[in-house]
């Protein structure tokens, strides 16, 4: 019976690890689109160049002055909402939180 529990635990770990990998991949894709899309649409190559070569170009200014702060605030806000939701469910002892 202990072996079955260990196998079940390993499967649960793999499932969670795969889920976290999928979520991290989706976050990277969302960040890439957030940096590329806006009033002045940039290609991913222009965004990449603007991120790594801060040379005073228009693309670099757009990426660093407008889109990176917007994306960072969006990620921080999403994380804050996630923590707040987890705290509310834990404090109210919601059975869905288990």
Q: What's the whole-number mean pLDDT along residues 62-77?
A: 96
Per-residue pLDDT at 39: 92
pTM: 0.76
d(CA 4, CA 2): 5
- In this prediction, residue 20 has a pLDDT band, given cuts at 50, 70 and 90, of very high
* Residue 2 burial (CB count, 10 A): 6
Domain ranges of the chain: 2-97
Instruction: List, in order, residues 6 or more apart from 90 with CB less than 8 Å away.
Output: 97
Q: What's residue 70's pLDDT?
A: 96
Q: What is the mean pLDDT of the chain?
A: 89
Q: What percent of the chain has pLDDT over 90?
A: 65
> Is the pLDDT confidence value at 97 over 70?
no
**What distance separates the 2 farthest-apart alpha carbons in the chain?**
65
């Amino acid at each position: 019976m202990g072996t079955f529990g260990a196998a079940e635990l390993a499967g649960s770990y793999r499932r969670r690890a795969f889920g976290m990998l999928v979520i991290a991949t989706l976050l990277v894709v969302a960040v890439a689109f957030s940096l590329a899309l806006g009033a002045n649409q940039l290609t991913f190559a222009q965004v990449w160049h603007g991120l790594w070569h801060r040379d005073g170009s228009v693309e670099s200014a757009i990426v660093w002055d407008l889109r990176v702060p917007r994306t960072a605030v969006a990620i921080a806000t999403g994380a804050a909402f996630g923590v707040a939701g987890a705290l509310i469910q834990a404090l109210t002892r919601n059975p869905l939180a288990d």
